[in-house]
Each structure stands twice: as structure tokens, then as C-alpha cells.
Amino acid sequence: MKQSPDAAVDLEQMAIPAGFEPPTVAISFYRALVQSGETKPVEAMIEALIAEGMRPLPVFAYSLKDAVSVGILESVFTELKPGVVINATGFAVSAPGADRQATVLETGEAVVLQAIFSASSKEAWEASAQGLSARDLGMNVALPEVDGRVLARAVSFKAAARYDERVEANIVASEPLEDRMRYTARLAANWARLRNTPPGDRRVALVMANYPNRDGRLGNGVGLDTPAGTIELLKAMQVAGYSVADLPADGDALMRHLAEGPTNAGHDGCIVRETLSFSDYRDFFSSLPKQIHDEIGARWGEPEADPYAIDGGFALPFARFGEVLVGIQPARGYNIDPKESYHSPDLVPPHGYLAFYAFLRRSFDARAVIHMGKHGNLEWLPGKALALSETCYPEAILGPLPNLYPFIVNDPGEGTQAKRRTSAVIIDHLTPPLTRAESYGPLKDLEALVDEYYEASGGDPRRIRLLRKQILDLVADIGLDQDAGIAKGEGEDEALRKLDAYLCDLKEMQIRDGLHIFGVSPSGRLLTDLTVALARVPRGLGEGGDQSLQRAIARDALEGGESAIPPSVADATSPPQGGRLMARGTTSPQMAIESVAVVRDKLEKASGILPPISPLVGEMSAKLTEGGNSPSKQFDPLDCDMAAEWTGPRPSILQNVSEAPWRTQGDTVERIELLAAKLVDGDIACPEDWPNTRMVLDEIASKLQPSILACGDAEISALLKGLDGRFVPPGPSGAPTRGRPDVLPTGRNFYSVDSRAVPTPAAYELGKKSAELLIRRYVQDHGEWPVSFGLTAWGTSNMRTGGDDVAQALALIGVKPVWDMTSRRVTGYEIIPPAMLRRPRVDVTLRISGFFRDAFPEQIALFDKAIRAVGALDEDAADNPIAARMRGEIARLEAAGLDKASARRRAGYRIFGSKPGAYGAGLQALIDEKGWERRADLAEAYLVWGSYAYGAGEEGRAERGVFEERLRSIQAVVQNQDNREHDLLDSDDYYQFEGGMVAAAEQLGGARPSIYHNDHSRPEKPVIRSLEEEIGRVVRGRVVNPKWIEGIMRHGYKGAFEIAATVDYLFAFAATTGAVRNHHFEAVYQAFVVDQRVRDFMAEKNPAALRDLRERLLEAIDRKLWTPRSNSARFDLESLKDGKEVAA
């Protein structure tokens, strides 16, 4: 074998018995270890692999980017064909965001495991809930994920091995940890065996999530028709030679079959298909570490007391289809005793949970497991964030089993959690199709009346008055006046203008049209609408074929192809509905962020055209024309005053796409959207003299639409490749509709971001803009400067955006990150002086999620250091309330007997999160299991789960009193939403974090703070809305929209599931914040209960979901969250005993 100083392989003592060829597992490591003689970790790994019956192949290299090293390793791997590679080098060959370069390690499609030779000591690792240092996280975890490596474990740690008299210093060595080596070797061996086993002999388990723990919510998967996708996958496995038999006809039949067996709702009267004896369970349980025995025994007692226990063992929620096992993932345990368990954020799982995975691993002998859809609960069990130990629950329960995880492409954070805590190979899947909300029902009637009213202007005054009365009466009758921000006593003309703008805004909302089915690409209208949605915002640099399709059409159709206004450069905000409009540079009160003259100068220099500056209302801005400029010359279909009169040209190609009146700029936007769909679909040919539109359509035809069409086959192909034990190529993650077509096609093992580069410069620009708009909105609402905000920061959204939330928090306190522009990493911060800030600083309390804590330790340190530095400034209290508050708190703490250093540390805490090793906000079980009586109970859960301080060297110090003090004084709760591929009624996370903070602040402070739910879906144009405004938009634009309901009804059981889930989340917001109005509940009741077609659909496809919906609406009445208009509503709901009866 050829040797080289750059790369080498040692094949000595690798003779194998005649006739036996064990799988080859390569171990890749740095040449420097050989040169320094520090090869103990490699030797230990060799021994561990031999113990597992593998053939180790140790190879070293100077660098995986070095051409000589790569050439030698390639020749070695081509000859010896390793089935698995254990890699111990850091960094990545490819750079995040750049075109991917295949690495030599994946030669022959070998799965590449990442083993970490940690730079920390064993003692530091054992004591740390984080598991790894920020340096190890970046170098050995985040960057290797870019190359598609699967994180195994930290297998060695630095130790001061011996004192060398010649250098008079301890020689630091890497000491292997035997049990971590053993786990990694077993994981490699299992991947190798999976690859060497023919498909027909592979036993595969497929696990479907279930939360809340009700039969109407089996098969959870965000954005995914999990049942239908499971059937598609099982069919593909059958074709590929797997022993799949007795398949149900479709997803609905699959769910009926599973619901007949044990579920998290119970097992009485169920068909028990699979059991695990107590004897076999105890055998498995005895193999686990003593710490786990003690913790589970202390919380749950003996196995016989478990809810899954039957005579002699456990009744398990499994069904076999040949040699494939499909199961419902057990509940974490909060459902067993929610009132008691909500005090336990690090609750250990019950015996039944362990029995489920014990059966899967031992009795069934699965070679691989598939966790189907975002997301299960395994990766959220207690333990270290990274580099798990044997006492971490995800490892103890799943063991070293190959784990494949179909996961929505726009959620890198929670998918990354599965990658890092369960060694999962992600198979990302497409988001649901998107479409325009359009108009419907009473909204369409109103739109027609408004059009008639304006057409009648200047005619018969009596007819005008009659129409105006009809409109405003109908608006008040359905509660639309409140949602549109029409204040009581407001002038009729202004009320009609607001209504007109609001109706246009709702019509142009982007909503989901059904769900994605794993392995199936959208087609027909769904493909067209999704394509138009992805082409709606600029991509890349926003030039040529990457410009917005709608803007390109506007330029060509309305301006003859001339350059139009550049992407929005004017900051603006959504005013309080019914409030006054403020341009940047105006004052109210004492407000002067930037003068109009400065803005005018910048804009004139940028484009020679001065667009007016005005607030945003909804998806579009309410940009008011002024100064005599031609609207057509400035018109931007993504940023205009929807209610303003259209005075521009009316080309026939736009005139002919709709018979509706063409009166306003909103009507122009609608026509452009309709034309965009017809151009993409091919119904209308693009005019030859439309250069901008043709460039975009060419890009759509050559790249964008083919990448969407490729998703279905790519998803199935990638999962089958993973089941073959072969390498699944990596790809980026993010929201496709946020200008990220690079995340397509799906079917890749997605990676996230280099956390050291967060917040990115682009994220800071958005965060700064949003912070200024937020402050402006608060001043408009309250007439004074804000002092203190509470902000939620989630790991997944900051991964998706590059750190919008962190950037916004820094901007609010008047701090800017500093970057090394060569590496693009954040290296520190600079404090913006008051003269440049031109407003007071705002104190910010961050409530971070558990995954944010795990993924962004450097950002926690950055914000903590920055706000403490701001708090130490000698500035006037009016300019710097942060410093004034910290000084006052330090004085009080010192007066109470605390030493100065401790007082400073406590007074500076501004970052709070879950207990180390725990995740979540604590409200879900209480809401789901009706374990609360008053809002104060929900506030208490939020406080119990989130009162652990981070920063100043602390990794989660219990500081309930300090957290309460922070929340007591916050004036506004802030939640950002970074894309429109979901909304706040899609997920329990929004009500738990946003609603939980509101409930706690109200309970502690005696009054509910303002709540702002901000739209960051278009980075150049953030929109500030109140929570009430956002809920109203989502209820009318999506929830009760027949277009959404029709789309979701295509998905049978899972469609009814989605309806029930939406009502749950609406109820939860009402419970935590009181922001849900009567007419919102009324609209839901009419759409899902009174409408017989929808009611019968739910009763047929998912009767359990209809029962859940019925019970939730009755609970809303009982808790006085909803007062129905009809006295018969309660009777109608109570009559739904079998899911069908209701009064006419």
C-alpha cells in the first residue's frame, strides 16, 4: 500500500480468517496525531470495532481539502470499500451556502459518522449540561454537518497526562473514554450490518408521533400528511424488495387500523397485537445505567403500575405489515398526572415508553428505525445537549440504532436537535403547497358592496347612504370592524377606506393549500400556485431571473420594462388599527428617528425616484402616493396602498384576466397575481416585449419548477438509500418562500448554520429595522417611549434566519455586532452612542428555548455581555433605562446583604430558559389535559419551566425571583414570525411561549402587557402587528376560509386532525392572553360545526378529532372565553354524541 507523509493507512495485523469478510469501517484522523504520538483514541477505536466484529481501517490525512491526501484516501477507499467511515477530523470540506463538494470520505456511498476528539476535559464534559464547548460545537458538530456527517459521540477528552521535566510543563494528551468508544463502534457496526443485509431480510420500524395524546391526533407531522406519506413509503419499500405485506388501502385505513390497537388514549377494549413481558422488560431495564433505574423508579414506581401494563406485560401500540413494524410513539408522561408533572420540566419517561423501544430493539430486532415527520419526543428527553452520555435518555432508550427522520425542510432547528441527540439522518421534505387566500362568503359580498359604493360616488346621495349603512352594519355584524381596526365613532369614509384595504390584504394573504405527502410532488394548480409563491419574492441578488415575478410583470406591463423602484428602502410600520399614520422622520411625541430630508436624499441617490413613506397594513404596505408622482412609475405590487385609487395604465392583458372592477391598487395586485399564475401555467404566453418577465419565467422553467417536481422522487430515493445503509447527501435548510429556492429539491440530510456567524449582517439589518418599527408602534399606541420588552428567541427560527431575534434584541438595547468579514464570524459588539441611536435604549428580557440554549451558547454570551456593558454606562436614565434599573437593583441587593459581585451578577440577568437538560415552556400538558383552573395556573407553569438564568458563566441557575422581577415590569411581549409557510395557529409553541409570557407578566404585574406579533417573512419589509390583529388575519384569511378547508379535506384523517389542532391553538391563545374575540370563535363554530359538509367529513374521517373539537368549544363556553351568539350553540355541540347530530 502506498504510503505518504500526507496520508497513510496501516493494514498490519489486519489478516482475517479464511471465508469470513467482516465489514470494513474506516477511521479517519489527523496526521498530527501520528506525528505527536497521540494515537491512543485511534487505538481504542480500533479495539472497539474489533470487539463488534468489524474490520478497522485507520487512515490519517493532513487535511481533507489537501489534494495529495484526498488522492491517496480515494485510492485506499476504492480498493478496500469501507461500508462506514468514522471521522475524527473537524471542520468541513464545503462551506455553508456554497456549492457542495463531495468529500473523499463518502467514496462508495459510505455513511460518515463524526466522532469527536474533544478539546475539553472529561470532568468538564461530565459536569456540563451542554456537553461540548462552543469551540467544539462549531468545529466538530455544526461544520461537519455541512458535509453530511452523522454525529456520533465525543470519544476522547484532553487530560494532563504527565509532567515533562524537559519542558517543565504538563503534556496534554487525549484520553479515550471506553463506553463512548463502545457506543460509537456499535453505531458504526449497526450501519455496516444494515448495508450488508438484503432488503428482504431487513426489519424496519416506523414510528409516528402523537401529541396531544388523543386518538384524533395520531401521526403528527408538521406540514405533512403523515398517514398518506407512510403508505407511499411502504409501497416504495415493497417495490424495493422489503418484506412488506397486508398494506392498508390508504392513509385513512392505516389510521383506523392503528386506532383499533392501544394508543396513548388507552388500551381498554383495544386489539392488542404486540406485547412485551415484564420479564423481557426487566432484562432490558437491567442493562441501563443505575442512575436511570433510580430516576424512573422514583418517579413511576414499578412497571406493573404503568398505564400500558396488562396481565404479564405491556400492551404496545404496534402493528405489523410483514417485516415492517408501525407504531405510535408513547407519551412522555405528562398526560398521566399533568397537575403534578408540570412542576417537572425534566420529567423522565415512564416504563411504557421504555418498553416500546425495548420491543423495537430486542423483540422485533429492528435494523433501522424511521421517525416519520416533525417531530417526536425522543430527541427532547432529558440529558446533555450534545455529546451524550450513557445516562442521557435519548441514548439509553434508542441505543446505537440507525435512525432516519423525514423532516420538513423549513425547520432546521428541531431537525438539528434530532441529528445531534439521536444521531438521526434527516430526509428533508417539501413544505405544503401555498396559495392566495382570495375572497369568499361574506368577505366577497362586502367587497362587492364596497365596489358598488365607490362606483356610486357622485350619484344618488340616498343610494350612497344606504350602501354605506349596509356595509357598516354587515361589518359590525361579523366583527370585521374590530379586525380591520375601525374604531367606534370613526368617520364613515375613513372606516370604509380601512375596510377596503383590509379586504384587499386578506385576499392576498399566502396560506397553505393542503399538506405535503412524502414522496409526492405537487401537480396541477397546486404546483402552479406554489411556484408563483416561491417566485413572488426576490431570490439571490434579486436580479435578472431571480427578481420577483410579480414585480417583473408590473415593470413590463405598466412601465414598458423600465427600471422600477428598487426593493423597499423605506422603513415603515403597521400603525395601530384606527391610529394615526406616521412617516419616518415625523415626531410623536418627541420622536425623531431620522429626518425626512435624510431619507429623501438617500432615496434620490439610490434611484432618482422618491417613493412616499407610509405605514404597512398587512401583507402589503399602505403606501400613499404624494407629490404628483405617477403611481404607475412607482408601483410595487409587493408594497403598495391596497385601498388607493388606481390611476395608472390598464393594459388589456391585465384587464382580461378578471371581470371584477379595477378600481384600486389592490385590484391591480390581484390582476398581476392572476396573470402570474396563468403565465407559469402556460395558459397565457408571455409577450415578446416583456424582458423582465421572460427572464423570470425562463428561470422558473429551467430551475425553480423542476426543483419542485423533483422533490417527491428525491424524498423516497433518499430514504431508501438511508435504509440501504448508504450516504445521504446533505443540503441547506430554510423557508423556500423567503427567497431560498436553494433548499430544493428536498430529500437531503439538511444542515443548519455556523452558529459563530450569528447574527449575520443581513439578519442585523432586519433586526434593527424591526426594532425601530416596534418602538415606533409602541410610541403610537402608548404616547411614550418603551422601557422594557420581553422577547422570545427560538433556536429553529434563528437558524432559519441567521439570527433575526438576537439581532433585534441587540438593536433594542442599542448595540451592534462586530464581524470578522473574512470569516463572517461575530467577534464582539459595539455600543451605539445615544447621539447616533436617537432614542432611548429598551431593556430586553430574553426567554430562550431549550434548543436555542443548546445551539447558540456564544449568542447567549454575546447578549449577556452586551447588556451588562450597556448597564454599566454612565448615561442619563431617560436615555438608558437599562443602566438605571441595574443600578437600582444592585443597591437594593447590597442593602439586603448580598456582596457587590453577586449583586451585579443577579442584577444583570436578562436571559432565562428551561432547566438544563429540559425543553419547552410547560403549558401544553395543562391545556391538553384540562389541568388548569385559572390563568394564574398557566402563568405558574411558565414560571416554573422558564426561570433558569443563563449568562455570566451560568448554565441555567435557578433564579425564580429575578425572572419574576423582569416579567413584572415588561411593557410589551414580542414574538417574531419569519415566514408565511405556517402561522401562529399551526403550533403549540406560539401560545406556550408568547401566551405563557403574557399570562405570567399579567399575573405578576397586575395588567396585561401589549403583545406584538411581528411578520419578518419579507426581510426587507418587516411588519409590526398586535397579537389581536394577527389572530384576526389568520382566522379570516386561513382558518375559516373555504379554500383552506377544501385543501385540508383532501387529506382525510390528517385533514380533520389539522382542523382540530387549529381550534386547540386558538383556544389556548384565548386562555393565555384573552386576545381571541367572540366573533373568532363564532366563525370557527359556523365553519366546522354548523357547516354540515365539514362536520360530516370529520365524523367520517376522524370522529375522534370532531369529538375533540366539540369538547374544546364547550370548554371555551364553560371558561367564559366565548359567549356564543346563538343560545342553541351549546345544545348543538352537546348533541354531537356520535359526531353528526346538530340543530339545523
The pLDDT tens digits for 823-862 are 889 999 999 999 999 999 999 999 999 999 999 999 999 9
| Residues forming beta bridges with residue 617, ordered by sequence position | 620
Among all chains, which residue has been given the C-alpha cell 435518555?
393
Tell whether 274 is covered by a domain.
no
Of 18-32, 65-79, 610-624, 1091-1105, which range is least confident? 610-624
Tell whether 93 is covered by a domain.
yes
Query: For position 330, which CATH number holds?
Result: 3.40.50
Tell whether 1078 is covered by a domain.
yes
The pLDDT tens digits for 34-64 are 998 899 999 999 999 999 999 999 999 999 9
Mean pLDDT in the chain?
90
Residues 552 and 447 in one domain: no
- Of 1025, 1058, 1074, the residue at which a domain comes to its end is 1025
Residues 391 and 443 in one domain: no
Residue 172 has pLDDT above 90, yes or no: no
Over residues 872-887, mean pLDDT: 98
Q: How many CA within 13 A on the CB side of residue 220?
A: 20
Residue 421 has pLDDT above 80, yes or no: yes
Q: Which residue spans within 510-644 are E strands per DSSP? A: 510-512, 616-617, 620-621
Residue 200 has pLDDT above 60, yes or no: yes
In whole angstroms, what is the distance from residue 996 CA to residue 994 CA? 6
Residue 457 has pLDDT above 90, yes or no: no
Secondary structure of 931-987 in HEC code, one letter for each residue? CCCCHHHHHHHHHHHHCEEEECCEEEEECHHHHHHHHHHCCEEEEEECCCCCCCCCC
> What is the model's pTM?
0.92
Query: For residue 131, how far is the Cα from the chain centroid?
Result: 23
How is residue 913 annotated by DSSP? E
DSSP string of 273-305? -EEEEHHHHHHHHHTS-HHHHHHHHHHH--GGG
In whole angstroms, what is the distance from residue 50 CA to residue 57 CA? 11
Residues 448 and 584 in one domain: no
Q: In which band, very low, low, confident or very high, does the pLDDT at 1139 lie, cut at 50, 70 and 90?
A: low
Residue 997 has pLDDT above 70, yes or no: yes
Q: In which band, very low, low, confident or very high, does the pLDDT at 1140 lie, cut at 50, 70 and 90?
A: low
Tell whether 255 is covered by a domain.
yes
Cell, residue 1133: 355541540
Tell whether 346 is covered by a domain.
no
Long-range contacts, stretch 122-128, CB < 8 angstroms, 24+ apart = 122/157, 122/159, 122/175, 122/177, 124/157, 125/154, 125/157, 125/387, 126/389, 128/384, 128/955
In whole angstroms, what is the distance from residue 1061 CA to residue 1056 CA? 9
Task: Look up the domain containing 628 and give its range.
Answer: 522-709
Q: In which band, very low, low, confident or very high, does the pLDDT at 1142 lie, cut at 50, 70 and 90?
A: low
Cα→Cα distances 498→483, 495, 504, 617, 665, Å:
10, 5, 10, 9, 14
| Residues forming beta bridges with residue 30, ordered by sequence position | 61
Tell whether 744 is covered by a domain.
no
Residues 442 and 426 in one domain: no
In whole angstroms, what is the distance from residue 223 CA to residue 341 CA? 29
Q: What is the pLDDT of residue 6?
A: 53
Cell, residue 845: 428580557
Name the nearest CA neighbour of 623 among 1026, 1027, 1021: 1021
Over residues 800-829, mean pLDDT: 95
Q: What is the pLDDT of residue 632?
A: 42
DSSP string of 157-204? EEEEEEEETTTTEEEEEEEE-HHHHHHHHHHHHHHHHHHHS-GGG--E
- Of 193, 220, 248, the residue at which a domain comes to its end is 193
Residue 662 has pLDDT above 80, yes or no: yes
The pLDDT tens digits for 484-539 are 999 888 888 899 999 999 999 999 999 999 999 999 999 999 999 999 999 999 99
Identity at 422, one-letter amino acid code: T
In whole angstroms, what is the distance from residue 956 CA to residue 949 CA? 5
Residues 208 and 321 in one domain: yes
The pLDDT tens digits for 323-368 are 999 999 999 988 887 766 667 889 999 999 999 999 999 999 999 9
Residues 1004 and 1083 in one domain: no
Q: What is the pLDDT of residue 1138?
A: 54
Q: What is the pLDDT of residue 162?
A: 73
Torsion angles phi and psi, residue 950, rounded to 5: -125, 150
In whole angstroms, what is the distance from residue 1020 CA to residue 567 CA? 7
Q: How many CA within 13 A on the CB side of residue 277?
A: 4
Torsion angles phi and psi, residue 144, rounded to 5: -60, -30
In whole angstroms, what is the distance from residue 383 CA to residue 976 CA? 29
Residue 924 has pLDDT above 70, yes or no: yes
Q: What is the pLDDT of residue 573?
A: 34
Q: What is the pLDDT of residue 579?
A: 32
Residues 422 and 477 in one domain: no
Residues 875 and 779 in one domain: yes
DSSP string of 106-166? GGGGBEEEEEEEEEEEHHHHHH-SS-S-HHHIIIIIIHHHHTTPEEEEEEEEEEEEEEETT
Over residues 860-880, mean pLDDT: 98
Tell whether 735 is covered by a domain.
no
Residues 992 and 1105 in one domain: no
Which residues lie below 8 Å from residue 239, measured CB to CB, with a gap of 6+? none
Residues 413 and 445 in one domain: no
The pLDDT tens digits for 565-583 are 444 333 333 333 333 223 3
- b/e code 1022-1058 from CB counts within 10 Å (16+ = b): bbbbbbbbbbbbbbbbbbbbebbbebbbebbbbbbbb
| Domains of the chain: total | 6
- Of 149, 178, 193, the residue at which a domain comes to its end is 193
CA angle 372/377/383 to nearest 5° reads: 130
Q: What is the pLDDT of residue 596?
A: 30
Q: How many CA within 13 A on the CB side of residue 1049?
A: 18
Name the nearest CA neighbour of 291 among 251, 211, 348: 348
Residues 566 and 680 in one domain: yes
Q: In which band, very low, low, confident or very high, does the pLDDT at 227 lie, cut at 50, 70 and 90?
A: very high
Residues 222 and 103 in one domain: no
Cell, residue 135: 469551540
Tell whether 938 is covered by a domain.
yes
Identity at 916, one-letter amino acid code: P
Name the nearest CA neighbour of 771 among 782, 781, 786, 750: 786
Query: For residue 404, how far is the Cα from the chain centroid?
Result: 19
